[in-house]
Amino acid sequence: MIAQTAISMLLTSVAVYAATERRRSPVVALLSIIAAAAGLYFTWTPDHATQVAMWAGVGRGVDLVLYIWVCISLIVLLNLHLKLRRQMDLVTVMARTIALAEARHRLSEKADRRRFPEAVRDR
């Protein structure tokens, strides 16, 4: 009972987290929610887990739950990877902004040097 409650709380957290990510990564969110829901169901109905496991050729119900947990972990890993890619998108925008601003500044300085050579010399 204690273990089931603890696992249920963790799986519910996964489902809630997945729901918050659904706008950014809809596919990952959906897969996570399905996996979490399946995990929750089999945690409280271990007999069904055993029947499904035998049908799927897995062996024991507890093995099935373990495999579902592995799937959840891989999906969460995928989500982290996608977050990193999004971070890289932001870094790109920032780096581009800096690069273009510097180029504009250099061009403006060059134009000033051509227009006001004395002013630049005296500076």
Partner 1 sequence: MWVVIAAYNEASVIGRVINEVKRRGYPVVVVDDGSSDRTADASAAAHVLVRHPINLGQGAALQTGIDFALERGADVIVTFDADGQHRAADIEKLVQAIRVADVDFALGSRFLGCSDGVPVARRVLLKAATLFTQLTTGLRISDTHNGLRAMTRRGAGVVRLRQNRMAHASEMLSQIAASGLGYIEVPVTIEYSAYSMAKGQTIGDALTILLDLFARRLYR
Helices (H), 21-60: 26-44, 46-56
Q: How many residues bind partner 1 (CB under 8 A)?
A: 23
Residue 59, SS3? coil
Chain centroid offset of residue 42 CA: 26
C-alpha to C-alpha distance for 72 and 78, rounded to whole angstroms: 10
Compute the distance between CA of residue 39 and CA of residue 35 in angstroms, rounded to an integer: 6
Cα 20 to its chain centre, rounded Å, is 11
Q: Is 43 in the site for partner 1 (CB under 8 A)?
A: no
DSSP-derived secondary structure letter, 25 = -
Q: Min. distance of Cβ 3 from partner 1 in angstroms?
A: 33
Closest separation in Å from C-beta 66 to partner 1 = 26
Query: Any contact of residue 82 with partner 1 (CB under 8 A)?
Result: yes
Position 74 contacts partner 1 (CB under 8 A): no
When the beta carbons of 5 and 92 are compared against partner 1, the nearer one is: 92
Return the residue of 102, 105, 108, 111 that touches partner 1, per CB under 8 A: 102
Question: Any contact of residue 100 with partner 1 (CB under 8 A)?
Answer: yes
Q: Which residues of this chain interact with partner 1, rule CB under 8 A? A: 23-25, 27-28, 78, 81-82, 85-86, 88-89, 91-92, 95-96, 98-100, 102-103, 106-107
